[in-house]
């Protein structure tokens, strides 16, 4: 994951008071845990707009993948978090329209696809993403979040302008946000047992989340329009085992495209075992898998151990201690800027930390598919 952030000041008074360089540096510092590889900022003091980015480098590890990224002609600037899985197809289409690329990053694909399609580019993107793209020619900031909200986007419209970021603490790094507790949002958290404040609300009145499948246009530091660009299709149709397998194989193949090693979280259940099994078929290398449990006798760990042995994986397991859970929840709460009421989230964070320490930046997982299977 990467971290994105930015601000667009709406008045000359706010412009005079705020040092964009210092503000963007503070935002980047609060997002550093999301992107430890590189931090970047870009701003235009005259327009009063600035973007920041913290990078977890997965595709195009060279300097041509750095963000915030500007188009070659300087018209477009973007900060982007995510992965566009169909970037090779989009690149082919764009090259047919005469586009010449400087690197291999999907961020550059996003910039040039927007130039061709405008805001309709969202219909051409397949992947997970949250981004803000400044179009100097049209005088707009175009923001969007992927269809099901895998990547976060938090924003605050203040008297001084618009502030946005991947996480609440980054947005709060800029003065002017209304941090009064939103009791209705907290009631939804507690009374409906949803375990988190539902989108688009947060625990604070002055901060909102862009809903999944939604986009936003900002002009002169003010929100001009928010719209829903995608809705799920609830129509049902028979699906054959062959179709399901083909879909799973394609999904795994697309998600293992990276310029860094790719591992997997393995519980030994149907979903994660299917993912790792397909990874094994697609790779000539041994798959590095990871599991977390209470101790060596843990049933999930035993099952994962058996499956890893059958699939020939390079397997590691880790053990959590109950005494560390409270500390972990506190760290998660500080990073998210809100209440964390899902204990497995603490476990997943601990496991992912151990995976990262092992040199793995990308890990596939089958979380959430048990109910489907």
84-141 pLDDT, tens digit per residue, is 999 999 999 999 999 999 998 999 999 999 999 999 999 999 999 999 999 999 999 9
The pair of three-digit structure tokens given for residue 213, joined into one six-digit string:
């499948």
Per-residue pLDDT at 133: 98
Give the range among 158-172, 205-219, 311-325 with minimum mean pLDDT: 311-325
- Using a CB cutoff of 8 Å and minimum separation of 24, what contacts does 90-97 make? 90/124, 90/125
Of 335, 302, 333, residue with least CA distance to 319: 302
Per-residue pLDDT at 293: 85
Alpha-carbon distance 23 to 139, whole Å?
Answer: 22
Say whether pLDDT at 193 is over 70: no
From the CB of residue 119, how many other CB atoms can be counted at a distance below 10 Å?
A: 18
Query: Does residue 234 lie within any of the structural domains?
Result: no
Which of 228, 257, 291 represents a domain boundary (last residue)? 228
pTM attached to this predicted model: 0.91
Question: Phi and psi at residue 25, in whole multiples of 5°?
Answer: -65, -40
DSSP class per residue in 307-343: HHHHHT-EEEEEE--HHHHHHHHHHHHHHHTS----H
Residue 247 shares a structural domain with residue 220: no
Per-residue pLDDT at 270: 85
Domain count, the chain: 2
Alpha-carbon distance 145 to 129, whole Å?
Answer: 6
pLDDT, tens digit (0-9, with 9 covering 90-100), for 297-311: 888 899 999 999 999
Here the CATH number for the domain that contains residue 76 is 3.60.20.10
Alpha-carbon distance 337 to 323, whole Å?
Answer: 22
The pair of three-digit structure tokens given for residue 354, joined into one six-digit string:
């151990």
Residue 197 shares a structural domain with residue 281: no
Domain that holds residue 288: 241-364
Residue 254 shares a structural domain with residue 325: yes
Alpha-carbon distance 267 to 69, whole Å?
Answer: 38
Which of 228, 254, 289 represents a domain boundary (last residue)? 228
Alpha-carbon distance 74 to 180, whole Å?
Answer: 39
Residue 330 shares a structural domain with residue 181: no
Alpha-carbon distance 145 to 136, whole Å?
Answer: 21
Query: Does residue 184 lie within any of the structural domains?
Result: yes
Alpha-carbon distance 50 to 321, whole Å?
Answer: 43
Say whether pLDDT at 344 is over 70: no
Looking at mean pLDDT, say which of 36-40, 50-54, 287-291, 297-301 comes out highest. 50-54
Per-residue pLDDT at 238: 87
Tokens 């299977």 sit on residue: 373
Structural contact between residues 306 and 266, judged by C-beta atoms closer than 8 angstroms: no
Residue 162 shares a structural domain with residue 253: no
Give the range among 31-45, 166-180, 232-246, 358-372 with minimum mean pLDDT: 358-372
DSSP-derived secondary structure letter, 204: B
Q: What is the mean pLDDT of the chain?
A: 89
| Across 55-67, average pLDDT | 86
Residue 275 shares a structural domain with residue 349: yes
Name the active-site residue from 2, 52, 143, 313. Answer: 2
Query: Does residue 93 lie within any of the structural domains?
Result: yes
Which of 174, 195, 228 represents a domain boundary (last residue)? 228
Alpha-carbon distance 270 to 369, whole Å?
Answer: 8
Higher pLDDT, 222 or 45: 222
Query: Does residue 224 lie within any of the structural domains?
Result: yes
Tokens 């169909």 sit on residue: 86
Report percent pLDDT > 90 for the chain. 59
Say whether pLDDT at 72 is over 80: yes
Query: Does residue 175 lie within any of the structural domains?
Result: yes
Per-residue pLDDT at 342: 65
Residue 59 shares a structural domain with residue 202: yes
Residue 198 shares a structural domain with residue 312: no
Query: Does residue 169 lie within any of the structural domains?
Result: yes
Give 340's pLDDT tier (boundaries 50, 70, 90): low
Known catalytic residue at 313: no
């Amino acid at each position: 994951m990467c971290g994105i952030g930015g601000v667009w000041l709406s008045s000359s008074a706010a412009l005079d008071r705020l040092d964009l360089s210092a503000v963007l540096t503070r935002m980047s510092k609060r997002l550093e845990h999301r992107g430890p590889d590189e931090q970047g900022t870009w701003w235009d003091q005259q327009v009063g707009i600035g973007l920041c980015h913290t990078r977890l480098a997965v595709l195009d590890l060279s300097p041509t993948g750095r963000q915030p990224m500007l188009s070659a002609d300087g018209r477009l600037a973007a900060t982007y978090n995510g992965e566009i899985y169909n970037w090779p197809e989009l690149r082919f289409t764009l090259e047919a329209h005469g586009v010449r690329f400087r690197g291999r990053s999907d961020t550059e694909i996003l910039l040039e696809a927007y130039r061709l399609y405008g805001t309709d580019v969202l219909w051409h993107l397949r992947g997970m993403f949250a981004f803000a793209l400044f179009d100097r020619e049209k005088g707009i900031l175009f923001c969007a979040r992927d269809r099901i909200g895998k990547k976060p986007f938090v924003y605050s419209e203040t008297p001084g302008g618009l502030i946005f970021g991947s996480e609440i603490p980054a947005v709060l790094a800029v003065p002017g946000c209304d941090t009064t507790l939103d009791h209705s949002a907290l009631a939804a958290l507690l009374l409906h047992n949803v375990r988190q404040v539902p989108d688009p609300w947060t625990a604070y009145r002055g901060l909102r989340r862009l809903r999944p499948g939604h986009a936003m246009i900002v002009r002169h530091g003010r929100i001009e329009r928010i719209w829903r660009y995608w809705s799920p299709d609830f129509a049902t149709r028979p699906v054959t085992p062959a179709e399901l397998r083909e879909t799973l194989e394609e999904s795994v193949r697309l998600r293992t495209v990276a310029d860094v090693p790719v591992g997997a979280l393995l519980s030994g259940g149907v979903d994660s075992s299917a993912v790792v099994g397909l990874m094994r078929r697609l790779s000539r290398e041994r798959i590095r898998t990871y599991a977390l449990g209470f101790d060596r006798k843990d049933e999930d760990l035993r099952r994962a151990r058996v499956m890893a042995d059958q699939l020939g994986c390079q397997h590691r397991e880790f053990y959590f201690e109950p005494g560390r859970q409270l500390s972990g929840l506190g760290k998660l709460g500080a990073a998210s800027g809100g209440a964390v009421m899902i204990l497995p989230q603490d476990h997943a964070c601990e496991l992912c930390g151990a995976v990262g320490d092992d040199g793995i930046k990308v890990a596939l997982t089958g979380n959430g598919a048990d109910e489907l299977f």
